[in-house]
A and B are shown apart, each in its own frame.
Chain A
Amino acid sequence: MKQETKKRLINQINIYRSVLILLVICIFAAFLSESFLSVSNLFNVFKQVTVAGIIGCGMTFVILTGGIDLSVGSILGFAGVVASGVLASTGNTFLAVLTAVAIGITCGIVNGFFISQCGIPPFIATLGMMTLLRGCVLVYTKGSPIPVKVDSYKFIGKGTVLGVPVPVIILIALFLLAHYILTQTSFGRSIYAFGGNREAARLSGISVKKTEWMAYIINGFLSGIAAVVLTARLGSAQSTSGQGIEMDAIAAVILGGTSLSGGTGFVLPTVVGAMIMGIIDNILTLMNVNPHATNIVKGAVVLIAVLVDKKVKDLSAKAE
């Protein structure tokens, strides 16, 4: 009986572990800084994590297939500068958003082509894309930022609807859509099957190449959306935009409990993972910690979280 209770408890912790980590960090944060729990600060945190969150959402698809995408930061950068360029020359918000999304999707198609059709390992293919696209950004901008001056475009990053920031609405909508796709559609099943055992999926009649390709396209598409949100919020597109964001996104996915080897995990905890990263950032800022040192803390938290995760998994394996 006692064994049973213990087993059930461990299982519960397993499901909600990312939420638990988030709670623990929030409690710490509340003690460390009085202003942490204010509504404006919490919305601020939420807004800060939207970009990494949106990319983490796409990254979850890729990681569920057992792959990785290092090029998201560069896709974001390139889509952001070109969209801002289009905006500056036409003033048409719709056209600018369309451009960003089209660039994101195109990059995803190219990534997915190399990986699924040519069999190049995802790490290598996307590493190449990461460098190539960052080069494109620098060539396009010649190193100087492109300002965003159209209000309707800025609204996407700075506006609110019924008091809720637009980026937060976009984030929530995308996550709910992604959750629906992963859990309620045959494509979602294919992603899990592919990540769990590619050969078994293929022999079950799943179009494995299309499935893998699609994961990178989704990731590219969401990187394009993230580019719009980021440039709209900052009011300009920098040549360095999105640098290192792939690491935040991957960390969010892992903190959300998705296995790097593919096949298991969910997309909703990824947003919790992104929140954890965001809150650490926020609390260090509130405490006036040297900004250069924040990476040290963030890196350490990821390591500790993954270590705890492994221990919990070992425990639950033992309980069975």
Chain B
Amino acid sequence: MGGRLVLKLESIVKTFPGVKALDGVHLEIFEGEVHALCGENGAGKSTLMKIIAGAQPYTSGAMYLVGKEVVFHSAKDAEKHGIAMIYQEFNMVPELSVAENMYLGRLPVSPFGKVDWNKLYREAQENLDHLGLKFSAKTKVKNLSVAEAQMTEIAKCLTIGAKIIIMDEPTAALAEEEIQILFRTIEELKKKGIAIVYISHRMDEIFQISDRLTVFRDGKFVASKLIGETDYDDVVSMMVGRNVSNLYPVRDYKTQEVVFEARKVNSRGVHDVSLKLHKGEILGITGLLGAGTIELSKLIYGAIPMDSGEIYVHGEKKDCSSPRKALEAGIGFVSDDRKQEGLVLLRSIKENISMSSLKKLTKGFRLDNKLEADRVQEQVKALNIKVSSAQQPAGKLSGGNQQKVVFAKVLLADSDILILDEPTRGVDVGAKAEIYTIMNKLTEAGKSILVISTDLPELIGVSDRVIVMREGRTVLEISKQEMNQEKILAHASGGVSENETGN
């Protein structure tokens, strides 16, 4: 690397009671580089980040900032040394302006103690302009898009003079176009000599944006490599500790009868969408943020109201005006937001898994505890959910296992038609492969899957057929043989006009 070494970690060890979260980890970060941290959930990435950002102390080892040993006592402390972190959940006050948020706690004041608004807005705007951002510093944060809010956080890092910015899954909530804006901003930051520590589950992003990467496994350092010296398979096998030959199972699907049909369904954000799903098929639906894909899935499941249209299951017209009715019609749903919509984190794994099947598990007035425990255990085993006991709160599980609990809930309800919204979001590679395998097995068992994903390699990897949506309408339908990322993206972003699709 051209830049000088700004941060060096040497033999960092972090123990929690009973667990060694980090075991002699090394890391070197250079000026102006984007350094990706790779590892499965539980590999120690988050702990390491928190240590670098001063949010957690380490047990032993040493940390050097531009050659000098440093010890951070708090996140504020780390900030003073020029290390800032952008969290997955933003820490901003929605009712205040962009500028106020950027300078929160450090507002410039005039000699009489009054906030110097002119200076505040001028300086904030300068920082936004530097990053090539096109919104006003006077905008209230609540009126920003997710991407803009994130850019504001990044601009805030500049105002505190950050030399190293840690980004934890920065693209998790962003649409494709917004990701490009983020990447342009990252390029700007690099030019200023700022180092970025980048964490993402999306491998294609890592290869697109980073200069170097470091892989961790089970709290141990595995390797640091320049991006040119490695490739996708290499990184994944380092993360998993074995060769992962193919993430996506081979599918052998032949068109069978139609089991589900939506005819001209409409709702807010969805216009006149019709689609058919066949038995044993995985149908992928994709589109940019705001294309209406998530709305479509929720509309079918009755989670948002349908303005007009008809839904047929096994050729019979069904009323899917509420999730309960949709479930009764044999439709199951896995939300893209498992923490807010998928799970009751406070409650046990068992209660979560049986949540959609309470009626079936009730004998007379009483829940049949034995039957419930058996059914839950079957699912835990079938989906290989790693739990110490089914009484554990769902909130204590890793992302991948939480997602499997949501799957188990839907499967226990015995739905024939499954709607999966972003089924592998925030899930590590190992669990992803398992989820794909589960999907494959389900379709082999005669179930049909509608999967909504913005992760194009995944979508192409798992789907038998793909429908692309734009602005609430379907714009393209392609079969497995014709699928390629460029074509899908071109239609999703409106790069191709509808009469050219030929489909």
Contact between B362 and A203, CB atoms less than 8 A apart: no
Chain B: CB-nearest residue to A319: B17
A207 interfacial by beta-carbon distance below 8 Å: yes
B397 to chain A, nearest CB (A): 13
Please judge, given known A-B contacts A192-B344, A193-B347, A263-B344, whether A204 and B362 are in contact too, CB under 8 Å.
no
Taking CB atoms, residues of chain A closer than 8 Å to B355 are 189, 193, 200-201, 204-206
- A interface, by DSSP: helix, strand, loop or mixed? helix
Chain A: CB-nearest residue to B16: A320
Contact between A202 and B340, CB atoms less than 8 A apart: no
B465 interfacial by beta-carbon distance below 8 Å: no
Residue tally, chain A, CB below 8 Å to B: 24
Please judge, given known A-B contacts A204-B355, A204-B356, A205-B356, whether A186 and B362 are in contact too, CB under 8 Å.
yes
B32 interfacial by beta-carbon distance below 8 Å: no
B171 interfacial by beta-carbon distance below 8 Å: no
B375 to chain A, nearest CB (A): 14
Contact mask for chain A residues 191-211; partner B; CB cutoff 8 A; 1 contact, 0 none: 011001101111111110000
CB proximity to B under 8 Å, residues A120-159: none
Contact between A186 and B346, CB atoms less than 8 A apart: no
B351 interfacial by beta-carbon distance below 8 Å: yes
- B interface, by DSSP: helix, strand, loop or mixed? mixed
Contact between B362 and A185, CB atoms less than 8 A apart: yes
A267 to chain B, nearest CB (A): 16
Give Cα distance in the complex from A196 to B365, angstroms: 23
A238 interfacial by beta-carbon distance below 8 Å: no
CB proximity to B under 8 Å, residues A202-232: 202-207
A181 to chain B, nearest CB (A): 9
Contact between A185 and B345, CB atoms less than 8 A apart: no
B366 interfacial by beta-carbon distance below 8 Å: yes
Give Cα distance in the complex from A190 to B351, angstroms: 10
Please judge, given known A-B contacts A186-B359, A189-B355, A319-B17, whether A203 and B347 are in contact too, CB under 8 Å.
no
A48 to chain B, nearest CB (A): 33
Contact between A185 and B366, CB atoms less than 8 A apart: yes
Contact between A200 and B333, CB atoms less than 8 A apart: no
B491 interfacial by beta-carbon distance below 8 Å: no
CB proximity to A under 8 Å, residues B294-342: 301, 303, 323-324, 326-328, 333, 335, 340-342
Residues of A within 8 A of B (CB): 3-4, 7, 184-186, 189-190, 192-193, 196-197, 199-207, 263-264, 319
- Contacts A200-B355, A205-B327 aside, 15 further interface pairs with beta carbons under 8 A come to A184-B365, A185-B365, A189-B351, A192-B344, A196-B346, A197-B340, A197-B344, A199-B340, A199-B341, A200-B335, A203-B301, A203-B303, A203-B333, A204-B323, A263-B344
Residues of B within 8 A of A (CB): 17-18, 301, 303, 323-324, 326-328, 333, 335, 340-347, 351, 354-356, 358-359, 361-362, 365-367, 369, 409, 413
